[in-house]
A and B are shown apart, each in its own frame.
Chain A
Amino acid sequence: MPTQVDQNDFEKRLRPYAKRCYQTAYRLTGSRVDTEDVVQELFIKLYQRFDQWSDMEDATGWIMRVLYNVHVDLYRKKAKTHGINEQSRETDDGALDQLVSGSSSPEDAAENSQQQSRILAALGQLDADQRALVTLHLLEGYTLDEAATILETPVGTLKSRLHRTKAQLKKLLKLQPFSKK
């Protein structure tokens, strides 16, 4: 940020994106507390890099990219804080009821219905990249091409990741194939 940014100008440009940033951050984190942390950090980065997006007609994609990076950073910090050893991580096929959600605080869980908690707990078992893909593609309707640009990941990689992630979520949510027997 080579020159001083006018605070009013920053606020005026950011306002149209602010609520959407919050909602996407919530889908990424599943927790109000983490969402506020992510959004605050995102806004700081957007202020510091204001000259890079302020003249864009639609900066949504650019902002989503920064949001994703902030989310990944937070995920990593949380993983370290919780002592998670991620040196070799395999897909967890365990049943949801044996899992403890690492992403939702008790306060958040209490705010949500059982169904909401169930979905958030399942999403909480995904890694940051999977969660971002689910958020962008399945929850917010970005095409895989658009998600690939935001996540800077090849479409082919996203397709295989999506296949794995859906299979994992189906198991976690116990969405069994239908049988009339």
Chain B
Amino acid sequence: MNCTESRQAIDQLPMGSAPRGSLAEHLDACDLCQHYYTDRLLEQELSSLEVPQPSDEFLDRAIKLAAKAPAVETAPSEHRWRWPSAMAASVLVAAVGFISFWEPAPLHQENPTVETAAAQPEYHREQVRIVIYSNEAHENAELSIELAENLELEGYTGRQQLAWSAPLNKGANVLNVPVLVRDNGGEVRVISHFGGKSHEVKVQVSRERQGTGRSDAGNTQSDRVSIDLLG
């Protein structure tokens, strides 16, 4: 039995049936087909998940309650979403825009860490600097930034979350993010995933106080916030 025949046989296996005969012999010797087989098992397991139907009573109640919610004004500059082309385009713009922010700096630490710093506000505009330290280069690090409701990225009106991939240099990788702060501000959350591990750092940004956590003293231009994470 070759791999093509093996996969056809796997596709035809009834749920819960163990491979036998020539298929069993092929699987015993072929890692790729074993991987295909376990993928199929996983799909079968997941497809058996039963999903309850909502009661009409709940839906009626939830819809009526929602219609009593207070109105929220949208920002004048907020453009209306168009599915899917506009969303796809905005993802691309976001990814390109943020990748271009990388500024490799000649810093190096033994373990990868993530650092953020928020500068003094000027008319509610904060410059948040995110530094991701890595002890080696990574081609495809996953990065995401999430903002609380009172925060938004300048130029990305109405968007509280962005995710993108970017190469990491060995040492420090700097990302400067202009954040617009409304009211009491809120939390900026940055998550990176590289080298098989995830790192998360949070910083509170507001008009009165920028940043929480360990802070470096003596910088008159900004409140530096540094959070070391396990490498």
Contact = CB atoms under 8 A, between A and B. Distances in A.
Q: Do A and B bind each other?
A: yes
Interface residues of A, number: 78
Contact of B142 (A65, A161, A180, A181): A161
B201 interface: yes
Interface string A4-41: 11010011001100110011001100001000100110
B202 to A, nearest CB: 8
Using C-beta atoms within 8 Å of the partner chain, give the interface range for chain B.
35 or more
Contacts of A5: 67
Contacts of A47: 66-67, 69
Interface of B: 18-19, 24-25, 27-28, 31, 34-35, 37-39, 41-43, 45-54, 58-59, 62-67, 69-74, 80-84, 87-88, 90-91, 94-95, 140, 142, 144, 146, 160-165, 189, 196-201, 227, 229-230
A91 B197 CA distance: 7
B24 A178 contact: yes
A171 to B, nearest CB: 10
Given A51-B80, A119-B46, 5 more contacts: A19-B59, A36-B58, A116-B49, A149-B83, A175-B41
A137 B25 CA distance: 32
A72 B43 CA distance: 24
Interface string A94-130: 0000000000000000001001100110010001010
Interface of A: 1-2, 4-5, 7, 10-11, 14-15, 18-19, 22-23, 26-27, 32, 36, 39-40, 43-44, 46-49, 51-53, 56, 58-62, 65, 69, 72, 76, 86-91, 112, 115-116, 119-120, 123, 127, 129, 134, 138-139, 146, 148-154, 156-157, 160-161, 166, 169-170, 173, 175-181
A120 B49 contact: yes
Interface centre among A18, A120, A161 (most CB of B within 10 A): A18
B200 A89 contact: yes
B199 A87 contact: yes
Contact of A149 (B47, B51, B91, B230): B91
Contact of B83 (A56, A148, A176): A56
Contact of B54 (A2, A39, A119, A149): A39
Contacts of A60: 83
A59 B144 CA distance: 25
B73 A2 contact: yes
Contacts of B196: 90-91
The 8 A-B residue pairs with the shortest CB-CB distance, nearest first, are: A43-B66, A22-B54, A61-B83, A177-B34, A88-B230, A180-B24, A7-B67, A48-B72
B19 A178 contact: yes
Contact of B63 (A23, A43, A49, A52): A43
A152 B93 CA distance: 11
Nearest to B48: A115
20 contacts: A2-B74, A5-B67, A10-B66, A15-B63, A26-B51, A39-B54, A39-B62, A43-B65, A48-B71, A60-B83, A88-B230, A149-B91, A150-B87, A152-B94, A154-B95, A154-B163, A156-B165, A178-B18, A179-B27, A180-B28
Contacts of B47: 139
